[in-house]
Amino acid sequence: MGVNRKRAKFYIYFFLIFTLLFVTVSNDVQAAPSVSSQRAILMDQETGRILYEKDAHTQSRIASITKIMTAILAVESGKMDQEVTVSSNAAGTEGSSLYLKAGEKIKLEDLVYGLMLRSGNDAAVAIAEFVGGSLDGFVYMMNEKANEIGMENTHFSNPHGLDDHKDHYSTAYDMAILTRYSMENGEYKEIAGTKVHTAPNPEEKWDRKWKNKNRLLTELYKHSTGGKTGYTKLAKRTLVSTASKDGENLIAVTLNGPDDWNDHIGMFEYGFKNYDYKIALEKGKIEKMDDKVYKGHAYLKRESILTLTDEEVKEVKVEYKMLKPKKEWLKNQDVPEVVGKAIVYLGNEKVDTLPIYYEASSEEKKEKSWWKFWAYSFESIIGVKDNG
C-alpha cells in the first residue's frame, strides 16, 4: 500500500507540474488562429508583411468585395461631387440594391457610400457607366489598376462581383494588396469606415439612410476600421476588413468563410498580440560609418520599419554597401547623390533596402519621426558591417 501511495503522489505531482508549464507557455505564445474560411490572409497595412495565410494565392470568385476596386476608382476620378444620371441598365441590376430609379440624379459620392455600406449592385453599374464611360470601359480601368498595384492573379469582368462571368476572380493576397492601396486614400478610408450614411431621396420627403452591412464595424469588434462584405451562391461568403489597435493597422481577407466574423476577429487578435512595429534603421545621419569620406555625410531619407515578434528582433541584421570613394570626394566635389544602400535582413531574408544619400553640409537634421512616439527602436542590438 505504501508503494502505491508513493506512486500516486508522484503522478499527481508530475501532472501538476506539466499543467503549470502548459498554462505558462500558452499565456506567452498564442498559436496561429483557427480559420474556417477556405482561403485567408492577415497582412500588416504599414509594412505589407504577411502575418498569417491559408491558401492565399489561389484564384477564387470574390463576390462583392470586388466593389473595393469600384470604390477606389470612383474616389480617384475626382468627380465625387458631380451628379450621376442613373441609367435603366443600372436601375435594373439584379441582387442587392439601393433601389435606384432610371433617370434619377444622385451624387457620385452618395453612390459610393451606397456601394460600400449596402453593397448596391445598381450603384456599381451607375458608377461604372459614369466613371468609365461604359461598363466595358470601366472594367478596362479596373484591370489596369490591378496590374499597376501588383494584383498578379486577378481579373475583373464586372464592377459588382455577381457570378455573370467565369473569368472574374482574385486571391486573398491580391485583395489584401488592393485594400492596402485603397486605405492610403483618406476619402476611401472614411467611406469604408462609416457606419451610417444618409443621402437625398428625390422620390420621398425623407432621406435615404444606409447602415453598413459590416457587423465587425457596427457591433462585433471595437478595433474595426472598415471593410467590405460579399456573398454569391458560387463564391459563398467573402469578407475584407481592417482594424487598428495601439497604432498598429492590419488587413484581413477571407474567401468562402462560413464563420468569417470570428475568423477575422481571431486573426486580428493573433496579429495584435504577437506582432509590433520595430525601427530597424532611423532616418538621418548614419553614425556607424568609419570611412572618412562618408562619416558625417551619409544619411537615410526614411526609416526602415518592420513588423516583428519580440523573438524576431535578434534575427535582424543590417548591411551597408557603399560606392568606392574617389579622392575628389574628400573635398565634397562631384559626389553622387546616392552613394550606397542599406540592406535589412530578417534571418537570411532580405526585407528592406534603403538608398544611402550623401549630404555635403555637416549640419545634422533635427527632425524626428512620429514613429518614435510608439514604435520600439532597437538599433543598438542590430549587427552592422560595412562593405566597399
Quick one: average pLDDT of 90-104? 95
- Please list the residues that pair with 155 across neighbouring strands: 169
Looking at the predicted structure, is the pLDDT value of residue 332 above 80?
no
155-185 pLDDT, tens digit per residue, is 999 999 999 999 999 999 999 999 999 999 9
- Which domains does the chain show, CATH number per domain? 39-274 (3.40.710.10), 277-387 (2.30.140.30)
Other Cβ atoms within 10 Å of 8 Cβ, number:
10
Q: What is the pTM of this model?
A: 0.83
Q: What percent of the chain has pLDDT over 70?
A: 85
Provide the pairing of β-strand 298-300 with 349-358: antiparallel
* Number of Cα atoms under 13 Å in the Cβ half of residue 267: 33
Number of Cβ within 10 Å of residue 251's Cβ equals: 28
Q: What is the pLDDT of residue 372?
A: 44
Of 37, 54, 67, 283, the active-site residue reads: 67
Question: What is d(CA 195, CA 361) in angstroms, rounded to the nearest whole number?
Answer: 51
Answer yes or no: 119 catalytic.
Answer: yes
Q: CB–CB of 154/169 below 8 Å?
A: yes
CB 181 within 8 A of CB 45: no
Which of these ranges, 210-219, 303-312, 372-381, has the smallest mean pLDDT? 372-381
Q: Which of 66, 43, 65, 69 is nearest to 56 (CA)?
A: 43
Average the pLDDT over each of 22-26, 188-192, 290-294 and give the range with the smallest value: 22-26
User: Helices then strands (H, E): number in the chain?
Assistant: 10, 18
* Helices 67-76 and 108-118: angle between axes, nearest 10 degrees: 160
Residue 4 banded pLDDT, cuts 50, 70, 90 = low
289-301 average pLDDT score: 88
> How far is 343 from 38, CA to CA, in rounded Å?
36
Contacts of range 240-243, beta carbons closer than 8 Å, 24 or more positions apart = 240/65, 240/68, 240/175, 240/176, 240/179, 241/214, 241/216, 241/217, 242/45, 242/179, 242/183, 242/192, 242/193, 243/216, 243/268, 243/272
Confidence of residue 204 (pLDDT cuts 50, 70, 90): confident
Query: Of the candidates 212, 167, 136, which has an alpha carbon nearest to the alpha carbon of residue 61?
Result: 167
Residue 362 is among the residues annotated as catalytic for this protein: no
Considering 64, 224, 241, 304, which one is annotated as catalytic? 64
Q: Maximum Cα–Cα distance for the chain, whole Å? A: 94
For the chain, the C-alpha Rg in angstroms (whole number) is 27
Model confidence band, residue 230 (pLDDT cutoffs 50, 70, 90)? very high
Pick the catalytic residue from 37, 60, 119, 170: 119
The amino acid present at 13, given as its one-letter code, is Y
Contact assessment for residue 378 and residue 278, using Cβ atoms and an 8 Å cutoff: yes
pLDDT greater than 60 at residue 132: yes
Taken in order 108, 114, 115, 117, is the CA torsion positive or negative? positive
CB atoms within 10 A of CB 60: 20
For the question of residue 324 being annotated catalytic, the response is no
What pLDDT is stored for residue 91 in this prediction? 95
CA distance 382 to 388: 20
- pLDDT per residue as tens digits for the range 243-289: 999 999 999 999 999 999 999 999 999 999 999 999 999 999 998 88
Contact 280, 346 (CB under 8 A): no
Q: Which of 33-37, 122-126, 312-316, 381-385 has the highest mean pLDDT?
A: 122-126
Whether residue 29 has pLDDT greater than 80: no
| Residues in Cβ contact with 53 at an 8 Å cutoff, skipping those fewer than 6 apart | 40, 41, 42, 172, 173
